[in-house]
Structure 1
């Protein structure tokens, strides 16, 4: 029997960088949200673990032993193996937590079949700062490096969202390195929509300094009837939120016409 899970695209509705830490990481405050679209993982029982990657962005993951889905399987010892086919629909190095989402989907598949060990959160965090949030893939607040999670009831669930990427990979490390080191203040408190509206992404400016095309994407999204547009994570993907699916579809069509080379994915916030 096959077990199918969507690796939901992660976006940061707000991302406040508060300080550089001595361990090389950064102290963050972020509002994670998840889109109902993403990579698709299909798993079935096997003698040993095996991951095959297909899909539009599958060629970006050339080493089957070095992708995070394989590493996630290695973090969760089981009596039986799993054969996983990973359909890679999300661009790589794009600020969408695609790899983390894949790992989160692996955790959900293993939970469904075998259950998870009590220390699964620590195992998830060892794979990457976004992975613990991606296991449940529900709107939540992340602190520390992003692994200290706090639940928040989302009044944005069901909101139409459009993801747009200029098809330029952008590694996280250089973007954090280009951050100005200034603490511009804490993330606001309140509802998810209030935090999103009044918050910011402190990595937007450093990301644009490395990849100027991000500002073109943001200008284009701002030119649509969105009530919020912002860069996600360390970029280069940007998102826009819309009052209705029809308005979002109209924006998607306009952007596809004006910029046929850009990647886009329409969806709904979970």
Structure 2
């Protein structure tokens, strides 16, 4: 039996530099990962299969179109795997949930059989966030997010709270709504905390245009004096980082009381 956590991805900063002729966007982003997320269990089987459980498992209606099955098909190995995916992360939420699931599959197969030398290219074909999600460590993502520069993080272990208004937000319309203005690169430093504090998320404004509730989430998170609060990826999930777990937990309890309909998850940065 193989087990892995698909760690929730957050973008501590996400700078959109330009639209590319191939339809993608040139990005500079600071990836970080939370020590919580979906859970995967795999056992050996005659053929590959996927069973989904968890709060958001029903959102994955076609297992053969799921990125977990695509990840299995992308890697050479003997025999099949029967995977149970406990889907704890909301879908279309800016947390790289599907990419994180695929990254967990790559780690499972690396442990069981090793990965081919071109695994990064195979991962990138599944999605721009998948290569970062395989290692699930703090790094800079360039290009479409697939060119990775690992960083030693001074934020490891920092308490984090993820909050989503339970509104799915597809990535495409958010990128399409970007105003095309290049607001500059990430700060030129290897200090992760400085990049995070001085960075921004250029998709926040177009995401709020589509999903105004994101602004409500950010306003609520600001009430508890977080070290940093920002939208992740293309939304609608937002995150807040806190100096202590006690402050994070008080914020979580207040939100449970004031906004019980919102989804939230607690953890720490890896």
TM-score (norm 2): 0.99
Q: What per-residue deviation string (whole Å, max 9, x for no partner) do you get for residues 172-215 of structure 1? A: 00000000000000011220000000000000000000000000
Query: Residue in 1 aligned with 2:76?
Result: 77
- 1:86 aligns to 2:85 (yes or no): yes
Secondary structure of the residue that 2:208 maps to in structure 1?
helix
Alignment of 1:110-125 (within 5 A): 110-125=109-124
Partners of 2:35 and 2:70 lie apart in 1 by 24
Residue aligning to 1:232? 232
1:101-112 aligned within 5 A? 101-112=100-111
Tell me the residue number matched to 1:182: 181
Structure 1 segments of 4+ aligned residues over 2 angstroms from their partners: none
Corresponding position of 2:255: 255
CA distance in 2, matches of 1:97, 1:90: 9
Secondary structure, counterpart of 2:132 in structure 1: helix
**Map of 1:49-60 to 2, 5 A cutoff?**
49-60=48-59
In the alignment, the residues of structure 2 paired with residue 245 and residue 70 of structure 1 have an alpha-carbon distance, to the nearest angstrom, of 36
What is the Cα deviation at residue 225 of structure 1? Answer: 2.2
Question: 2:134 maps to what in 1?
Answer: 135
What per-residue deviation string (whole Å, max 9, x for no partner) do you get for residues 35-79 of structure 1?
000000001111111111111000100001011001000001211
> How far 1:119 sits from its partner (Å)?
0.2
Structure 2's unaligned 5+ residue stretches are none
Residue matched to 2:62: 63
Task: Identify the residue that residue 269 of structure 1 maps to in structure 2.
Answer: 269
Decide whether the 8 Å contact of 1:95 with 1:236 is kept in 2.
yes
Report the count of equivalent residues.
269
Q: Gaps spanning 5+ residues in structure 1: where?
A: none
SS of aligned partner of 1:195: helix
1:126 to 2:108 alignment: no
Alpha-carbon distance in structure 1 between the residues aligned to 2:25 and 2:63: 29
Q: RMSD of the alignment, in Å?
A: 0.5
Task: Determine the structure 2 residue equivalent to 1:223.
Answer: 223
SS at match of 2:234: coil
Q: How far off its partner does 1:80 sit? A: 1.1
Aligned-partner Cα distance in 2 for 1:65–1:107: 17
Normalised by the length of structure 1, the TM-score is 0.99
Report if the CA contact (8 A) 1:33-1:138 is conserved. yes
How far apart, CA to CA, are the structure 1 residues paired with 2:259 and 2:64?
35
Check the 8 A contact 1:225/1:251 in 2, yes or no. Answer: no
